[in-house]
Amino acid sequence: MVEVLEGLHSIDLSEKGDHSLESWVLNCPEGVVIIDTGMNPSALDKIYSELKSIGKDWSDVKLILITHKHRDHIANLAKLKELTDAPVKSHRLEAPLIEKATDVKVEGLEDGTLLGFCGGIRVVHVPGHSEGNSCYYLSRLKAMIAGDTVFSDDEGNLIPPPEKYCLDVKMAMEEIKRLLDYDFKFLLYTHGKDVMEGAREKVKELVEKTRLR
C-alpha cells in the first residue's frame, strides 16, 4: 500500500524497462475515486490490490477521472468501467476524444468544476499537452494531481512535457502557470517522482525558467 497522503494512494504502474507510470486512488467518505487507468492489464491488478489493502472492492469505486486522452492514461478504461460501473469524467474538450478511443461514455467537466469527493476535487484545465488536459486539485490535502502537465528530467527536476508528446508544446509550457492559482504543497504527476515538499515553489521556478527562454 502506498498511501502518500491521507486517503490518497499513488499506484506505481511501471514495469521493468518502462518509463515510470502512475495512477491514483482516492479513498473518500463519498466513495473511491480512481484517477487514470494505466496502460497494461497488470495495471488493473495493481489498482485492485491497492483497493483490497484498504478494504475496498471494485463496487466501492464511485467515480473515474481521466486527466487526458493519451493511451497510457485510458487504455484500461473500458475494462475498468465494466468492473466498477462508475461514471467517467474528464474535461469537456477531452470527453468526446476519450469516448471515441474507448467506446465508454464520458461526462465533460468545465475548468473550475468542484466534484464532491474528499472535501472537493477541483478541475484545473491546462491545455497544450492535449486539448482538455486537466489537473485535479485536492484542497483539503493541498495536493495537485497533475497527470502529464509536467514531466521530470533524469535528475528529477520538473520540466514541461516533451514536444513529441504535445498537441501544442508552446501552449503546454505557457499554461503551466495556471497551477499557481492554487495553494498546494504536494505535486503528483504521471511520469516522475511525486514532489512531496515545496511543490508550488518548484512549479513557480519552472514557470519562471520557461518564461526566460
* Cβ nearer to Zn ion, comparing 70 with 91: 70
* Cβ nearer to Zn ion, comparing 7 with 132: 132
* CB contact at 8 A, 73 and 103: no
- Pairing label, strands 61-65, 88-91: parallel
* Cβ nearer to Zn ion, comparing 70 with 122: 70
Would you count residue 70 as binding Zn ion (CB under 5 A)?
Answer: yes
Would you count residue 148 as binding Zn ion (CB under 5 A)?
Answer: yes
* Cβ nearer to Zn ion, comparing 94 with 99: 94
Q: Tell me, by CB under 5 A, how many residues bind Zn ion.
A: 2
Would you count residue 22 as binding Zn ion (CB under 5 A)?
Answer: no
Amino acid at 127: P
In the complex, the smallest distance separating the C-beta of residue 166 from Zn ion, rounded to whole angstroms, is 8
Is 108 buried (19+), middle (13-18) or exposed (0-12) by CB count in 10 A? middle
Would you count residue 94 as binding Zn ion (CB under 5 A)?
Answer: no
CA distance 149 to 133: 7
- Pairing label, strands 31-35, 22-28: antiparallel
Would you count residue 91 as binding Zn ion (CB under 5 A)?
Answer: no
CA distance 130 to 94: 8
Binding residues for Zn ion, per CB under 5 A?
70, 148
